[in-house]
Amino acid sequence: MKALNATTSGIIESWRGNLIVSCQAPEGTALRTPGTLARIAKAAVDGGAVGVRANGPEDVAAIRAAVDVPIIGIAKRLQADGKILITPSFESARDLVEAGADAIALDCTERGQRLGALGRLTRIRAEFGLPVLADIATIEEARAAQAAGADFILTTLRGYTPETKHIQDFDVQFVRELANELKTPVIAEGRIGTPQQAAAAIEAGAFAVIVGTAITRPDAIARSFVSEMGNVARANGPVYIAAVDLGGTNTKHAVVSQDGSLLWQSTCPTPAMDGRDALLRHLGAVVASCVRSGGELGFTPEAVGIATAGWVDPDAGRVVYATGNLPGWTGAPIRTELERGLCLPVSVENDANAMAVAEKRFGLGQAVNDMICLTLGTGVGGGCYINGRLSRGSYFLGNAFGHVAIEPGGLPCTCGQSGCLEAYANAAALVRYAGSPFNTAQQVTNAAFAGNPQAREALRTYAGYLARGLAILLHILDPELVVLSGGIAENNTALLQDLEDDLGRVVIGWEQRFTRLALSKIARYGGVLGAAAIALDDRDRRIRAGTEWT
The alpha carbons of the chain give a radius of gyration, in whole angstroms, of 34
- In whole angstroms, how close is the CB of 323 to Zn ion at the nearest point? 10
Q: Is the CB of 373 or the CB of 420 nearer to Zn ion?
A: 420
- In whole angstroms, how close is the CB of 432 to Zn ion at the nearest point? 17
Contact 356, 383 (CB under 8 A): yes
Return the SS3 of 371.
strand
Binding of Zn ion by 444 (CB under 5 A): no
DSSP codes, 388-400: TEEE--TTS----
Stretch that binds Zn ion, among 174-182, 219-227, 289-297, 415-423 (CB under 5 A): 415-423
- In whole angstroms, how close is the CB of 469 to Zn ion at the nearest point? 11
> What are the b/e assignments for 326-357, b being 16+ CB within 10 Å?
bebbeebbbbebbbeebebbbbbbbbbbbbbb
Q: Rounded distance, CA 191 to CA 179, Å? A: 18
- In whole angstroms, how close is the CB of 420 to Zn ion at the nearest point? 3
Binding of Zn ion by 415 (CB under 5 A): yes
Q: Is the CB of 319 or the CB of 413 nearer to Zn ion?
A: 413
Phi-psi label, residue 76: left if phi above 0, alpha if psi -120 to 50, beta otherwise: beta
Binding of Zn ion by 241 (CB under 5 A): no
- In whole angstroms, how close is the CB of 488 to Zn ion at the nearest point? 18
Taking the CA atoms of 515, 491, 493 and 498 in sequence, report the sign of the dihedral they define. Answer: negative
- Alpha helical stretches, state H, 349-492: 351-362, 421-425, 427-434, 441-449, 453-477
Phi-psi label, residue 484: left if phi above 0, alpha if psi -120 to 50, beta otherwise: beta
- In whole angstroms, how close is the CB of 415 to Zn ion at the nearest point? 3
Stretch that binds Zn ion, among 48-56, 384-392, 395-403, 473-481 (CB under 5 A): 395-403
Phi-psi label, residue 219: left if phi above 0, alpha if psi -120 to 50, beta otherwise: alpha
Stretch that binds Zn ion, among 3-11, 107-115, 213-221, 403-411 (CB under 5 A): 403-411
Binding of Zn ion by 424 (CB under 5 A): no
Side-by-side strand order, sheet with 481-485? 389-391, 380-386, 371-376, 481-485, 516-519
Question: Binders of Zn ion among 220-239, rule CB under 5 A?
Answer: none
Q: Which of 64, 125, 318, 403 binds Zn ion (CB under 5 A)?
A: 403
- In whole angstroms, how close is the CB of 223 to Zn ion at the nearest point? 56
- In whole angstroms, how close is the CB of 417 to Zn ion at the nearest point? 5
How many residues interact with Zn ion (rule CB under 5 A)? 5
Q: Is the CB of 332 or the CB of 413 nearer to Zn ion?
A: 413
Q: Which of 118, 144, 148, 420 binds Zn ion (CB under 5 A)?
A: 420
Q: Which of 254, 291, 354, 413 binds Zn ion (CB under 5 A)?
A: 413
Binding of Zn ion by 417 (CB under 5 A): yes
Q: Rounded distance, CA 30 to CA 221, Å? A: 14
Q: Which residues bind Zn ion (CB under 5 A)?
A: 403, 413, 415, 417, 420
